[in-house]
Amino acid sequence: MANTSRKTTDNENDQKDQQDQQEKKEQDELPGPMAVLRAAQTQLAELTGMTAESVSSFERTEEGWLLEIEVLELARVPDTMSLLASYEVRLDPHGELTGYRRVRRYERGRSDPHNR
């Protein structure tokens, strides 16, 4: 009986080691912040057809990534009258877009308090 118990414990340890190695491998394969940022801008532009101008916030979350991207919604002359919008963009840990929403819209030449 003691022999069987020992084999079971060794087996559990081997499975734990394999699981730890797999998790480390998956972590090593995750894209870095710059790759995620570029992917977010590209995917948002593709989905909306609008030009991503800049990223105003960027953070890693438990679910993946959360960004706020400034987008040119309507070009006007003069440029200071163009309409921009801030989009909240959510990505999974691998940098795939999982959702987005517009959180505000404003003229380029105006600054306003951004309340959340």
Q: What is the pLDDT of residues 61-90, one digit of tens each?
A: 999 999 999 999 999 999 989 999 999 999
Tell me what the pLDDT averaged over the chain comes to: 86
Q: Rounded distance, CA 27 to CA 106, Å?
A: 39
In one letter, which amino acid is 48?
A: T
Instruction: Give the pLDDT score at 7.
Output: 61
**For the segment 17-35, what is each residue's pLDDT rounded down to a tens digit?**
777 666 655 556 899 999 9
In one letter, which amino acid is 62?
A: E
pTM surpassing 0.75? no
Residues sharing a CB contact under 8 Å with residue 74, sequence separation 6 or more, in sequence order: 82, 83
Q: Are 76 and 89 in contact (CB under 8 A)?
A: no
Tokens for 103, please give them.
């959180």
